[in-house]
Amino acid sequence: MQFSSVVGQLMAKQGLINMYRSGHFPHALLLSGNEGTGGLPFALALAQYIFCEAPTETDSCGQCPNCQKVGKLEHADLHLSFPTIPPKSGTKAMSRHYITDFREFVSQTPYGTTYDWLQFINAENKQGNLTAEECREIIDTLNLKSYEGGKKVQIIWRPEYLGKEGNILLKLIEEPPADTILILVAEAQEDILPTILSRTQDVRLVPLSAQEIAAALIVRGLADERNATQVGHLANGSFAEALRLLQHTQNDLFPDVRNWFNALFTNNGIAIAKFADEWSKAGREQQKNFLHYVISLLEHAIRSRYIPQQTPALPQEEAQFAQKLAVMKISFDVLGQMTETISKTIYYIERNAHSKTQLHSLSVKLVYIIQGRKIPV
């Protein structure tokens, strides 16, 4: 995997490339960022850069034999550890039992989550682990000579799963064998042993911008510009969440938002009932995505009102819609109440409340809020 395939993270990419090219690269690196910010693909792209025979100032070549082998996760000096379960009763959870599965998983879903991975290997409700036996095998493997005569790279995906067993690795992390680089990829630093944190150099991966997510979806041919932009604003900085949203947001949401708001502001009971009826037939994930998108538009309206020189980063129709809301005689408190009321409805839908009732009730409450009337209990 090349850095060009990793969404966003431009500062981290160039910073680490510059460190590596200058010869001042840490022997133990901790890539930490929220789920979906690209920790695993970033680590794999970094490993490919380290092994590349003809790296440029911005990326690996992607063509040399080493790049080809790393791209398939088949380089003899690239070692991978990740949460697993025992393959059968009486055996230990070890990454080597699942390496073929892991290659397939990364090939199919490089931004897949740990949950996705454990479901991929049919873990069901079993807890994934990085065991003491795994730690000892890491030490034994890295103390061997390089198979191809160059550097050795060990990637540990989700060191949070090490628990106290991680103390077994402390000496290795502090003083690894020559030409050995350890890359730990984490999402929750608070769950990592402090003794490991203190022995690694932390590089933070930031949440992705809506624009970065949208551009990546378009380049990959996964969505058109309008859908990509909508999903980008709903994904909360996570490309993994964007991919999940795409499974439930095939259609343009904006026409239904516009029609619904027209019904709300004109107190059109027939149109409101039609909205509740039609959207109650959609899946719960679609309903949640729709309401999250409405919240996003309201937030853009609030920003447009108080930062008028800032144009919403939305397609033209949505941007105009948000700006119209911003100039209407609706107070900040009213917009805030609308957002809070929609959020509560999402909460109830998540807990399997009757969706038609919730959507109709939400519409009535929003009419009361818009009109400045007290919502009846």
DSSP 251: S
- Residue type for position 112: G
Tell the residue number behind the tokens 């990740």, with chain if given: 82
Same domain, 321 and 268: yes
The secondary element (H helix, E strand) that includes residue 65 is: helix 65-71
Tokens of 183: 């890359």
CA distances, 364 to each of 99, 274, 322, 370 (Å): 54, 13, 21, 10
**Range(s) of the domain holding residue 346:** 254-370
- Cα torsion for 225, 228, 234, 239, to the nearest 10°? -150
Residue-by-residue DSSP string for 18-41 = HHHHHT---SEEEEE--TTS-HHH
Same domain, 274 and 341: yes
The 3-state DSSP class for residue 183 equals strand
- Domain count of the fold of the chain: 3
Same domain, 186 and 126: yes
46 contact partners, CB below 8 Å, separation of at least 6: 3, 16, 29, 183
- Residue type for position 129: N
The reply to whether 377 falls in a domain is no
d(CA 86, CA 239): 30
d(CA 57, CA 43): 17
Q: What is the CATH number of the domain that holds 25?
A: 3.40.50.300
- Residue type for position 10: L
Same domain, 239 and 176: no
pLDDT (tens, 9 = 90+) of the chain, 377 residues, equals: 999 999 999 999 999 999 999 999 999 999 999 999 999 999 999 999 999 999 999 999 999 999 999 999 999 999 999 999 998 888 888 999 999 999 999 999 999 999 889 989 998 778 889 999 999 999 999 999 999 989 999 999 999 999 899 999 999 999 999 999 999 999 999 999 999 999 999 999 999 999 999 999 999 999 888 888 888 888 889 999 899 888 766 567 888 999 999 999 999 999 999 999 999 988 887 888 889 888 888 888 887 777 766 666 677 778 788 888 887 867 778 888 999 999 999 999 988 899 999 999 999 999 999 988 888 76
Same domain, 155 and 91: yes
Same domain, 195 and 266: no
The secondary element (H helix, E strand) that includes residue 372 is: none
DSSP 376: P
Same domain, 40 and 166: yes
The reply to whether 376 falls in a domain is no
Q: How many CB atoms lie within 10 A of CB 333?
A: 10
Alpha-helical (H) ranges within the chain are 10-22, 39-51, 65-71, 99-108, 114-120, 132-142, 170-174, 194-197, 210-219, 225-234, 239-246, 254-266, 269-280, 284-306, 316-327, 332-350, 355-370
102 contact partners, CB below 8 Å, separation of at least 6: 73, 80, 82, 95, 117
Same domain, 136 and 78: yes
pLDDT of res. 302: 81
Same domain, 121 and 104: yes
Cα 271 to chain center, whole Å?
Answer: 37
pLDDT of res. 19: 95
Tokens of 195: 């003794």
The secondary element (H helix, E strand) that includes residue 45 is: helix 39-51
Same domain, 197 and 145: yes
pLDDT of res. 299: 83
Same domain, 24 and 157: yes
Q: What is the CATH number of the domain that holds 271?
A: 1.20.272
- Residue type for position 148: E
d(CA 43, CA 34): 14
183 within 8 A of 29, measured Cβ to Cβ: yes
